[in-house]
Amino acid sequence: MKAHVALTVPESKRIIAKGVAAMGTVKKALADGIVTVAKGTTNGRIAEEILGERIDRGGYITGRVLPSSGPRAKIGSASVPEVVLRKGERVDGVSAVESIAEMKQGDVFIKGCNALNYQQKLGGILIGHSTGGTIGGTIGTIVSRKINLILPVGLEKNIYGDINELSKKTREDDEYFGSAPTLMPVTGIIVTEIEALEILTGAKAVQIAAGGIAGAEGSVWLLVEGAKAQIETAMKIIDECREIEKDSWF
């Protein structure tokens, strides 16, 4: 059985969040180790799914891309502490970067992306901070200790081109007009809507189109295929995500 479904950006973020929270790797680390959820719009939803409660997602953001003007040109929420859990219990007063010192093989660090090349299975993170921001302060330890780096990223961020080559271009010693963030290639466990639906239902999905209007800009159109029960479960989860995100705009 097959189904076509179009997902808005907030709906996609919620489905990805549910998928990440349901991963065996994450569940094991919640039981036996440490799970850190760095700030981000998708990650705010992951924190909600893991904690089982709503947070102020407007305060769970670091870098952001907003319209240049208009009523949605600013998100004014105060900062919310990052979610770090040790054996399923929240650790207060510890940032995502600080948590890495205690993490070990099998633990989980969750960090969103600004770009994705799905064919390469490679993510890209824009860095504007002078010392590398969250990823710059953690990636060495993540790699050396074999910590599970989960990269939740919507297909709306899929870009054309080799992220490694694009990263080189952003690091060229040229004169720039305005701000000039660097694109950093990052490998890890990529979780898009496709992986999330398979984790949650066993159904397979492929992207067949993108775009929309009237709030559906950035939407992805998926063809979902599987047994009848898998498709029915997928549609039920999608309906739940739509209900949760019906008033969301980021």
Does residue 250 belong to any structural domain of this protein?
A: no
Q: Quote the domain boundaries for residue 91.
A: 2-66+74-244
For the chain, the average pLDDT equals 94
The whole-number pLDDT of residue 73 equals: 72
> What CA–CA distance (Å, rounded) separates 164 from 186?
9
Q: Which residues of 232-249 are buried (b: 16+ CB within 10 A; e: fewer)?
A: ebbeebbeebbebbeebe
> Can you give the pTM of this predicted structure?
0.95
- DSSP secondary structure letters along 137-174: TTHHHHHHTT-EEEEE--GGGB-SS-HHHHHHHHTS--
Most confident of 98-112, 128-142, 161-175: 98-112
> What CA–CA distance (Å, rounded) separates 45 from 211?
22
Q: Which of 241, 250, 247 is nearest to 14 (CA)?
A: 241
Per DSSP, the three-state class of 227 is coil
The whole-number pLDDT of residue 70 equals: 81
Does residue 37 belong to any structural domain of this protein?
A: yes
Number of domains present in the structure of the chain: 1
Does 175 score more than 90 pLDDT?
Answer: no
Contact (CB, 8 A) for 84 and 109: no
- 68-109 pLDDT, tens digit per residue, is 888 777 787 778 999 999 999 999 999 999 999 999 999 999
Does residue 233 belong to any structural domain of this protein?
A: yes
What is the mean pLDDT of the segment spanning 140-144?
98
Does residue 105 belong to any structural domain of this protein?
A: yes
> What CA–CA distance (Å, rounded) separates 124 from 195?
18
Length of the chain in terms of residues written: 250
Does 152 score more than 90 pLDDT?
Answer: yes
Does residue 199 belong to any structural domain of this protein?
A: yes
Give residue 178's pLDDT band: very low, low, confident or very high (50, 70, 90).
low
The whole-number pLDDT of residue 62 equals: 83
Does residue 249 belong to any structural domain of this protein?
A: no
Neighbours of 33 (CB within 10 A): 20
Does residue 134 belong to any structural domain of this protein?
A: yes
Does 235 score more than 80 pLDDT?
Answer: yes
What is the mean pLDDT of the segment spanning 178-191?
92
The whole-number pLDDT of residue 220 equals: 98
Does residue 191 belong to any structural domain of this protein?
A: yes
- 56-70 pLDDT, tens digit per residue, is 999 999 877 878 888
Q: Who contacts 118 (Cβ-Cβ below 8 Å, separation ≥6)?
A: 155, 158, 190, 192
